Amino acid sequence: MPAKIAPSILSADFGHLDRDFQMINQSQADWFHVDVMDGVFVPNISFGFPVLKSLQKVATKHLDVHLMIVDPDRYIADFAQAGAQTLTVHYEACTHLHRSLQAIKAHGMKAGIALNPHTPVDVLSDIIADADLVCLMSVNPGFGGQKFIERTYDKIKALKALIERENAHALIEIDGGVTLENAAALHQAGADVLVAGNTVFGSANPVETIAELKRRTQ
């Protein structure tokens, strides 16, 4: 199965959001990746519902929303209303993760779990069957354009083994520092979804860069 490519709009030009949304619509990208940060869980504040709702109006692709916020349960219904189709919460931000995943699904969305770089994959053994997606952070969350943490390859393999052992169906998503150079190796290691911010939006021709990411992960 080819990898899904999910450009992160965190790296878009916020002065020309509509142009960048349309660029993704017209490209070979599979998903929009939407990073919501609260300045508490991570040391940065990104954007919230108004931006997501504007995207919802024009997006022709799946909206993959990554919450880097504390106590995400408070906003699950609002994110469903704002158009999120996959809603990913951080393992480190949820005291009752099982309940959070059930609530996400009850609102008609796919439920994802994100793990910070220091969190071992093993903590998911009793919840993996309930997840539609696991997002392995391959940088410390908060900012685009950071360097990929190489240890992630081992985590992909461990996660893949866990998914197979538990007969689970979760997609493996890699978020942070994905480049044209490492995309193929990540896909080969078992990644199903590659998020790319700086690699896409920092390139001279984003549509062509998305196509190249796609080509390298067939």
Residues in contact with ligand DX5 by CB under 6 A are 8, 10-11, 33, 35, 66, 139, 141-146, 175-178, 195-199
Q: Is 35 a catalytic residue?
A: yes
**Per rule CB under 5 A, is residue 66 in the interface with Zn ion?**
yes
How far, in Å, CA of 4 to CA of 115, rounded? 19
> Quick one: 199 or 209, whose CB is closer to ligand DX5?
199
**Residue 186 parent element (H or E):** helix 183-189
142 binds, among Zn ion, ligand DX5, none (CB under 5 to 8 A by kind): ligand DX5
Collapsed DSSP state (helix, strand, coil) of residue 2: coil
SS3 173: strand
- Concerning whether 154 is annotated as a catalytic residue, the answer is no
170/162 Cα distance (integer angstroms): 10
The residue range among 144-152, 153-161, 172-180, 207-215 that interacts with Zn ion, by the rule CB under 5 A, is 172-180
CA distance 47 to 29: 22
Smallest distance, ligand DX5 to C-beta of residue 167, A: 29
CA pair distance 119, 39, nearest whole angstrom: 20
Interface positions with Zn ion (CB under 5 A): 35, 66, 175
Q: Which residues does the annotation mark as catalytic? A: 35, 175
